[in-house]
Amino acid sequence: MKQALPSASPATGTAAEWWRGAAIYQIYPRSFRDSNGDGIGDLPGITARLDYVASLGVDAIWISPFYASPMADFGYDISDYCAVDPIFGTLADFDALVARARALGLKVMIDQVYAHTSDRHPWFAESRSDHTNPRADWYVWADPKVDGSPPNNWQAVFGGPSWRWDARRRQYYMHNFLAEQPQLNLHNPDVQQALLDVAKFWLDRGVSGFRIDALNFSMHDPELRNNPPAPDDGSVRTRPFDFQLQVYNQSHPDIVLFIERLQALIASYPDTFSLAEVGGREAASEMKAFTQGPERLDSAYSFKFLYAERLTPALVAQALDAWPNTPGTGWPSWAFENHDAPRALSRWCAPQDREAFARMKTLLLLSLRGNPILFQGEELGLLQDDVPFEQLQDPEAIANWPLTLSRDGVRTPLPWTAQAESGGFTDGTPWLPLSEQNLARAVDRQEADNASLLHLTRSLLRLRRASTALRMGGCEVVLADEARLVLRRRFESESLLAVFNIGADEAAWPAEISQDGTVLAAVNGALPGTLPAWGALWMIEGEQA
């Protein structure tokens, strides 16, 4: 067996496609680093720690919303798209962040929320004032039924009907999420133009792209037809939303026409990238539609892994098979964790297996064809925190407690120092509590341990950047059985095998895979011919070895 050394030269595509295969680090600003002692993370806190992010070897950061907001949904209810909320800082702070990121070689992506605004947004204040104002049709309004009830049966994601009565207009307005998040009417060309102007504002400030929140929720059926019931699949349904197929309240086919307008704007700026979040039962087909051809978005990701109860070879194979390397098929992105989904290590393995599983999981995420997205703290192996009810902040968890897993558990602050009471996150009281289990995984402790997951993540990202096959190559699922997964990544003459044992017991080396190759990286004792529990490796094939 030969051991390969990392190359110093990154493998990249054309200058216009820096994003193809780029590794992206998601920052949830409330919980990254607090610079002023109020217990809430902010933009200066991010800027102060960008050296750490750059040291990981990622190509870009994606920052969750920091815009002016009443914070009913912690920034996803926007009251001014072109202003920074004072709790996060100022526009000058944002400009300083972009400048520092650029100096460190990091691209900056930010969230865009086009499906809804806050009910405190001036657009909504004008829209609700009467039926004839210039923005009367900027939101989704409907008359009640003759008995005064809502116009149809649509249900909101966070519970209850998707309609809220407004006495000013004597009509209902639609909301797919909280009642404080009224639905924009994206069928209106003026609304589309207003959102394009927002995108232009941030592109002019130097951002390199957008992650677009809940994009398939951005257009509804104008006929307001009732959603059909969802078949009973035996799962526990905790929300009225789960009892319906979301056929008419979202996913209107005209969304792609807006996408084409948006992408034309984004692509008119150099070195930009567009990424859609797409959830729901039809996510695979919608992601393909949203990214089909150069006139549409560059990439998309779904909740395929984010809410999966188990990680299996079959799950990975199914996800990859949906994104073949064929002309006209979009470029995928992948996330195992984010600000809405529980930590993967708390979902996917037993407590005694977490350290080994985290190493295997990291190598797997970086093996998939597409863009890997790491959520802050994933490089530390952070676990889902159990936030007690009296400290909950998440409105969905509070409304559906105790049956809905709180999003607060993944949003607890990033621990920078293990010894400090607040983990070095703040000099004040953190907005969510830090747990002992995650303080033990703090950055300073892992920096001092060369065998830590943090050091492994840096090493694997460096190796991946140096491999054209891993960054941009095609992907073939060679084997996916009960525990073993073998992927072949290939670009031109470079061919690499990624071999995994996604199981707690030792597995046999696949008979069809040669043991003769150059090991690029290995975790948990894996060697050509040997696959211990949670073992995994990258191996260069053939004459290249």
Residue 421 in tokens: 């009471």
Q: Is 277 one of the catalytic residues?
A: yes
Catalytic residue among 77, 277, 286, 408: 277
Entry field: residues in the chain = 545
Catalytic residue among 42, 213, 298, 396: 213
Q: Contact, 207 vs 109, CB < 8 A?
A: yes
d(CA 318, CA 11): 27
Q: Is 59 one of the catalytic residues?
A: no
* DSSP secondary structure string for all residues of 249-283: SS--TTHHHHHHHHHHHHHTSTT-EEEEE--STTH
End-to-end Cα spacing for the chain: 9
The burial class, CB within 10 Å (0-12 / 13-18 / 19+), for 144 is: middle
Token match 């969802």: residue? 230
> Cα 400 to chain center, whole Å?
23
Neighbouring CB atoms inside 10 A of 127's CB total 27
Q: What is the DSSP code (8-state) at residue 353? A: G
Please report which residue ranges of 313-467 form alpha helices under DSSP H: 313-321, 344-348, 354-365, 395-400, 408-411, 436-439, 443-447, 453-466
Vertex 34, ends 28 and 39: CA angle to 5°? 95
d(CA 517, CA 540): 6
Q: Which of 92, 134, 90, 82 is nearest to 112 (CA)?
A: 82
Positions marked catalytic: 213, 277
